[in-house]
Amino acid sequence: MRILAITHNFPNEGNRNHGIFAARQLLEMKNQGADITVLVPLVWCPGFLRNFKRWRIYNHNWKCEYKSIKALSIPYLRLPGRWFYPWAGRSVFHAIRNKAVELHKENPFDVIYARFFFPDGYAALRLSRVMGIPVVAVGAGDDVNVDPHFSKIVYRDFVKQAKELDGIIASGHRVADNIDAVSNKRALPVHGVVDLQTFAPISDKSHLRQELGLPPDKFVILYAGTYKATKGLYELIDAVERISKEVPNIVLKICGYGRQESRMRSVIKQKALENVIDIVGLVDPSEMHKWMQSADMFVLPSYEEGMPNAVMEAMACGLPVVASSVGGLPEDIGDCEGAILVQPRSVDALEQGMLKVIENEQLRARMEAAARKRAEERFGVERNARIVLNYLRKVVEEHRVKKPS
């Protein structure tokens, strides 16, 4: 089966973490026999905008590749501000159309696979009508739960896509439910692109802690993700401040990147927590499992999520998880003893959930075993890729049956 994959998130020279989960899934699909061509729309913006910090990260000349997958990067116009968001999908479509059609003429594709609803899904839907092949899009999280509410135009496009796509895959049940509410078809809930061999528990953390410069005798709390207020990072800082007064033997390591970094540093300094909270910054994807294996607990107090990959990776490493009860988390891990779900935006609830794990060694041992078991049952990348490929084959076959001879 020949697949044309479209994803605006894909590892590149500027950020090897960007789109790592999409790339990991596509690589496994290739390993299982799919012939995959990847088009990556990269933001192009007028040169003067790069004088502003927010736009310096965009470089449409970056090469995009992940292991044995080399992607074709194509620049598309993106202007600042939310007002342009409804037009981003249209801009992507016009940017990639000629290259996609050219590739299709050389060696026809069976299906288009868009890794996100916006802007990829909009462009893929229009492209599928030009090329005459079916299209499947993935609802990853915010692109379904949050983005459609930016404006009436975006919501209209979201509903249109949900109704007209030949197939829909959702990252977790919550995302699937939001799609199903406006669609005439059932989205397939699938999640988990975890390499269960790499992300696995270890019995002795001491050597990794020494390698990463982590204190050998402290209780290490880990956060991994973007630096955004909606990730609950300021509630996390407040909760750790309270806990550190009762349990001085803790440290919080915050791995990731984002525009909130300077403000977070200021808050940490203001609270005199420099010896308790450390902003690590961007961690190379090849090193992330080491941070999870060397920690004692993983925390993700987000306001909204689909089914976050960081949580699944942490559970695969046998880490007890404390996370907000949002998105797909209640349904996917709410019944698992490996996780404690708490009310979002509540410092009190977050503090209490974390203290349960910190203060009860027997509970931690049970959580570690249960977390790994759930990861093995549901989150492995091989399982994910197999389900997705079977679904794509089904969509292609149904399209061939319906297509007039």
Write down the domain spans for the chain.
Answer: 2-193+381-402, 206-378
The domains spanning 2-193+381-402 and 206-378 adopt the same CATH topology: yes
C-alpha closest to that of 71 among 4, 140, 154: 4
What pLDDT does 135 receive? 98
Distance CA 235, CA 252 (A): 13
Residue ranges in the chain whose pLDDT is less than 70: 49-50, 53-61, 404-405
Distance CA 267, CA 401 (A): 60
What pLDDT does 86 receive? 86
Distance CA 169, CA 117 (A): 10
Q: Which own/partner contact pairs does 355-361 have at CB distance under 8 Å and 24+ positions apart?
A: 355/243, 355/246, 355/247, 357/297, 357/320, 357/322, 358/219, 358/243, 358/247, 358/250, 358/297, 359/247
What pLDDT does 404 receive? 61
Q: SS3 sequence, the chain?
A: CEEEEECCCCCECCCCCCCHHHHHHHHHHHHCCCEEEEEEEEEECCHHHHHCHHHCCCCCCCCEEECCEEEEEEEEECCCCHHHHHHHHHHHHHHHHHHHHHHHHHCCCCEEEECCHHHHHHHHHHHHHHHCCCEEEEECCHHHHCHHHCCHHHHHHHHHHHHHCCEEEECCHHHHHHHHCCCCCCCEECCCCECCCCCCCCCCCHHHHHHHCCCCCCEEEEEEEECCHHHCHHHHHHHHHHHHHHCCCEEEEEEEECCCHHHHHHHHHHCCCCCCEEEEECCCHHHHHHHHHHCCEEEECCCCCCCCHHHHHHHHCCCCEEEECCCCHHHHHCCCCCEEEECCCCHHHHHHHHHHHHHCHHHHHHHHHHHHHHHHHHCEHHHHHHHHHHHHHHHHHHHHHHCCC
Distance CA 44, CA 297 (A): 40
Q: 206-378: which CATH number, 3.40.50.720, 3.50.50.60, 3.40.50.1100, 3.40.50.2000?
A: 3.40.50.2000
Sheet holding 2-6, edge to edge: 64-66, 69-77, 35-44, 2-6, 111-114, 135-139, 167-170, 188-189
What pLDDT does 317 receive? 98
* pTM beyond 0.75, yes or no: yes
What pLDDT does 331 receive? 86
Distance CA 310, CA 298 (A): 9
Q: Over the range 349-368, which residues count as b (16 or more CB within 10 Å of their CB) and which as e? A: bbbbbbbbbbeeeeebeebb
Q: Which residues pair with 45 in a beta bridge?
A: none
Distance CA 121, CA 106 (A): 23
* Other Cβ atoms closer than 10 A to 130: 12
- How would CATH label the architecture of 2-193+381-402? 3-Layer(aba) Sandwich (3.40)
